[in-house]
A and B are shown apart, each in its own frame.
Chain A
Amino acid sequence: MLELKNVSVSGLNDDIEIVNDVNLTLEDKKIYVVTGPNGGGKTSLAKAIMGIYPISNGYISLDGEDITKLTITGRAQKGIGYAFQAPPRFKGLHVRDLLTIASGNNDEDKAYSLLADVGLCAQDYIDRELNASFSGGELKRVEIATILARELKVALFDEPEAGIDLWSFQRLTETFKTLNEVSNTTIVIISHQERILRLADEVILICGGKITDVTGPDKILGEIDYFTEPGRYCSNCFVRK
């Protein structure tokens, strides 16, 4: 279980809080989908959990243990993982290398099945260098595979669907479902996609750096039409007027 108490993240000049006093409890074996308008603080919140962004206030605990002061590496070793929205390329590193680092072993069969889970043909990809020849969508799928390769307590996926084609996307939603069935991992997915929203046990709405609602997928999706009518919602957040 991951708990956030009064967590804030400051902007570059410390003048605005990009995450503002967030309280959140994320339980094992549940899927949380974080959604909300662009620039609302979703990625910043995920990066604060991973330790990539320092928090300016509050504390974070994992299974009752305070992890606020742990580094990225420390949190990763405790079982937190984060799939980047725009993962970096690596000249010289191959898909196999990243999967080996992620899983801690070089189990060939496992690597093949991980790549299949994200819709990549292992034979074509496993020995490819993660250089500029990789498209954004391909890179993204390798990124997701590196998270699936680990046995995590908390897996954070930042817009996993971005840049991924229709066919692979279908496969990906199945992969999240399966991960949820076979493990106790807390799955947190930042997404704007209806298909992903439908996987959620809870949908967390974030805007203006704050959690404005925690609800079920049906409610959010049911209200989309309502919200899209002019004047029905604040242009900066989805708070009902």
Chain B
Amino acid sequence: MLNTIDKRLLKEVADLHEIPQGAYNIRKNGEKHSRNTTANIDIQTKEDKPGINITIKPNTKNESVHIPVILSESMEDLVYNTFEIGEYSNVVIVAGCGIHNSTNEDSGHDGVHEFFIRRGAKVKYIEKHFGDGSGGGKRVLNPTTIIEIEEDGTAELELVQIEGVDSTRRDTIVRLHKNARLIVSERLLTYFDQTAESIITVELLGDGSTAQVISRSVAKDNSKQVFHLNMRGHCECRGHIQCDSIIMHNAQVSAIPEISALNEGAQLVHEAAIGRIASEQLTKLMCLGLTEQEAEETILQGFLK
């Protein structure tokens, strides 16, 4: 049974109000809560370590897999999930972790997700992180995502963390082969004394591969954020990193870009900007009748949308 807290966590991380349609695996407090497989999507528990293997048959179209993790007790949870995305399939994978911690003990989930996106397959991967609960214990999330995109494959990643996670270190490593395509859209909000570190490494290995990484963040109060965005072009390829942060109060943000061209045909661009909300933007919205606070919220919400 899912209780009210569980349902709230599921709603926040996976937009789920009830048990989802199609394939899913819900992990609650370190154990399998429920699972469903379909003719094309199989989910098996790993035998050597905690976690699951998700296997999507070739040519599976327009199906989705939900694999949310919810923690409503104080505990350290660690999982290894492996995704095998068959050739020419087109699927949406919704992951994410919600932590409700009302205790004074820390609660954490470290997930290692490994993807094999086979030839011509297309994956949209949505990962949302959320925390709540009134206890003094920290809510900690350290996800690692390793993605191999084979020839003509596409991965679109939406990585979102906008509420209640005290400490996070996110490692994302993507390797692209011939004509593979990657689009990463990262959204991050930190406040109070939260800390967040995001390390994204993109290896463009095959001719014609393209990657676009767009990271937007807002740092409030005394929070700290660090971004290491690293792109390496080994071939005829194109890559673009855009890292934009709004800084407020006593927060600190570091954006550390690195682009490396290891071949004459590599075209790589990096753009990074950190700054407070532009006063003209606030003034413009106030001229439309919003208060300064409403204007600020509108700008931040839009920025992180």
Q: Which residues of A line the B interface, CB within 8 A?
A: 50, 52, 71-73, 76-77, 81-82, 84, 87-88, 90-94, 97-98, 101-102, 104, 146, 150
Contact = CB atoms under 8 A, between A and B. Distances in A.
Contacts, number: 60
B216 A91 contact: yes
Nearest to A47: B283
B287 interface: yes
Nearest to B281: A88
B302 A101 contact: no
A102 B284 contact: no
9 contacts: A52-B283, A76-B287, A76-B288, A76-B289, A82-B287, A84-B287, A87-B280, A92-B303, A94-B302
A90 B289 contact: no
Given A88-B281, A90-B281, A92-B216, A81 B287 contact: yes
B288 A150 contact: yes
B286 interface: yes
Contacts of A101: 285, 288-290, 298
Contacts of B281: 88, 90
A87 B281 CA distance: 8
A72 B283 CA distance: 8
B284 A93 contact: no
A77 B285 CA distance: 12
B299 interface: yes
Interface of B: 216, 244, 278, 280-281, 283-292, 298-299, 301-305
A91 B244 contact: yes
Chain A binding site: helix, strand, loop or mixed by DSSP?
mixed
Contacts of A88: 278, 280-281, 284
A90 B287 contact: no
Contacts of B299: 90, 92-93
Nearest to A71: B286
A93 B302 contact: yes
Contacts of A82: 287
Nearest to A88: B280
Contacts of B301: 92
A92 B280 contact: no
Given A72-B287, A146-B288, A150-B289, 12 more contacts: A73-B290, A84-B280, A84-B284, A84-B287, A87-B284, A88-B284, A90-B281, A92-B299, A93-B298, A93-B302, A101-B288, A101-B298
Contacts of A81: 287-288
Contacts of B286: 71-73, 76
B244 to A, nearest CB: 7
Nearest to B294: A73
Nearest to A78: B289
Contacts of A72: 283, 286-287
A174 to B, nearest CB: 24
A52 B284 CA distance: 10
Closest 5 CB pairs of A and B: A92-B302, A93-B302, A88-B280, A92-B303, A76-B289
Nearest to B246: A91
Nearest to B283: A52
A72 B285 CA distance: 10
Contacts of B278: 88
A1 to B, nearest CB: 21
A92 B304 contact: yes
B283 to A, nearest CB: 6
A164 B193 CA distance: 47
